[in-house]
Amino acid sequence: MSERAAADPPAGQDGSASEVFGVALGLGLTSFGGPIAHLGYFERTYVRQRRWLSSDEYAGLVALCQMLPGPASSQVGFLVGLIRAGWAGGLAAWAGFTLPSAIILYAFAILAPHLDASGTAPVLHGLALVAVAVVAQAVWNMAPRLCPDRTRTALALAAAVLLLGVGGPFMQVAVLIGGALGGALLCRGTDSVARPPAMPVDRRAGVAALVLFVGLLVLFSVFRTGHTLVALAGVFYRAGALVFGGGHVVLPLLRDALVPSGWMSDNTFLAGYGMAQAVPGPLFTVSSYLGAIVAPAGLAPLWAAVALLCMFLPGLLIALAGIPVWTWIGRRPAARGALAGVNAAVVGLLGAALYDPIWRTAVITGRDLAIALAGFLLLERWRTPPIAVVVLTVVAAVLVRSAGFQ
């Protein structure tokens, strides 16, 4: 069997939902650092360790989800599960990756009045340094495979320069489109095998997902007054449907929807925001905290569950709607160069995110650089399990801070 075949099993035939759930649960318990870091964890686990899909296919999923509103890392994980074990696998992947942080944040909402949140800054800084190591490893491994020649390397560098120079979540979409155009013009003769992986989503399912996405958006836009469960569902659905750029972008939008209208105080919202930075998994799971904190007495589980589902549902629906279009494009021979260009742009996108905001936020001193470099070497050279790297990096950051080094 060829390496290609080993890395690209038929969708829904070689895996089970329980297998997908177990792997995704491990990621949900250990993936710290935000959406870009999550993509690094996914690349390590799904591409290099599990070999459920190739680097080209993975980059294609990342590109598709970066072009769409919603939580990109959760969308990618859902689609990987869909590839591996069909519809049940997609739901298992989402649940496994999402539930750990959702449960932690729900518990925080219940216990928050009794907790002392002081002393968390060193831990949060250590987690930021973990993100530096994880994303650096992803870029280090993806770049040689997706940018094997000067043309694709130039496309990746151009994408990174544009993102760092202009910025903004919509620039990500523009850069990926530019990568496709550049690849179509400059990579026509490429020997890349870039193509979307097979997924059990046909045109009819894609159209149904799009209709449901739009229909719910219209419905929740009508019922948006008062402090009812339906109004709360609308707040989270609209946020998940209209935001580009991941959790760090959606959190300010949620604050604007919840604080001025009297759902909660600013301090209450910011407490959840801070806790969301300290848990693994997607930042969108802060919705479980917010739903529980505003729930009437005795209804916290229901309100938290509704907020959580409405936060993620639009992103998953729009990802399903995009699959048939993406597959149709990718199976056209003329699009091979365009997909190669998109994959190169993905490398540029991750490289730009590695520098800003991850590096610029986390690496402040030479000691920070040393800790992040040690984490990278533990992951890349010594193949240390990610959870061990998380623990060692956080401990190092706390010890440095406690020793009086700023």
Rounded to whole angstroms, the Cα distance separating 382 from 399 reads 23
Least confident of 106-115, 149-158, 179-188, 353-362: 106-115
CA distances from 293 to 105, 265, 304, 390, 394 (A): 10, 11, 8, 29, 29
Maximum mean pLDDT: which of 54-68, 181-195, 305-319: 305-319
pLDDT per residue over 367-379, tens digit each?
A: 999 999 999 999 8
Least confident of 130-134, 212-216, 268-272: 268-272
Rounded to whole angstroms, the Cα distance separating 18 from 263 reads 38
Whether pLDDT at 240 is above 60 = yes
DSSP of 256-297, one letter per residue? HHHTTTTSS-HHHHHHHHHHHHTSSS-GGGHHHHHHHHTSPT
The rounded Cα 404 to chain-centroid distance in angstroms is 34
Of the pLDDT bands very low, low, confident and very high (cuts 50, 70, 90), residue 83 is very high
pLDDT for the residue numbered 346:
87
What's the pTM?
0.80
Rounded to whole angstroms, the Cα distance separating 138 from 133 reads 9
pLDDT for the residue numbered 81:
96
pLDDT per residue over 384-399, tens digit each?
A: 888 788 889 989 998 9
pLDDT per residue over 344-364, tens digit each?
A: 888 898 898 889 878 988 899
In 10 A of CB 108, how many CB atoms? 23
Of the pLDDT bands very low, low, confident and very high (cuts 50, 70, 90), residue 113 is low
pLDDT per residue over 246-283, tens digit each?
A: 666 677 778 888 988 889 888 788 778 767 877 889 98
Rounded to whole angstroms, the Cα distance separating 378 from 387 reads 11
Residue 352: both structure tokens together? 């730009």
pLDDT per residue over 324-338, tens digit each?
A: 988 887 777 667 788
Q: Which residue has the higher pLDDT, 224 or 68?
A: 68
pLDDT for the residue numbered 118:
54
CA distances from 111 to 108, 117, 289 (A): 5, 11, 11
| Dihedral sign computed on CA atoms, order 54, 59, 64, 69 | positive
User: In this structure, what are the phi and psi dihedrals at residue 295, rounded to the nearest 5 degrees?
Assistant: -70, 145
CA distances from 15 to 11, 20, 53, 89, 170 (A): 8, 7, 12, 8, 35
Rounded to whole angstroms, the Cα distance separating 332 from 196 reads 11
Of the pLDDT bands very low, low, confident and very high (cuts 50, 70, 90), residue 383 is confident
pLDDT per residue over 51-80, tens digit each?
A: 999 888 898 899 888 888 888 899 999 999
Whether pLDDT at 7 is above 50 = no
Q: Which residue has the higher pLDDT, 358 or 237?
A: 237
Rounded to whole angstroms, the Cα distance separating 354 from 361 reads 10
| Burial label, 406 (beta-carbon count in 10 A; 0-12, 13-18, 19+) | exposed
Whether pLDDT at 5 is above 50 = no
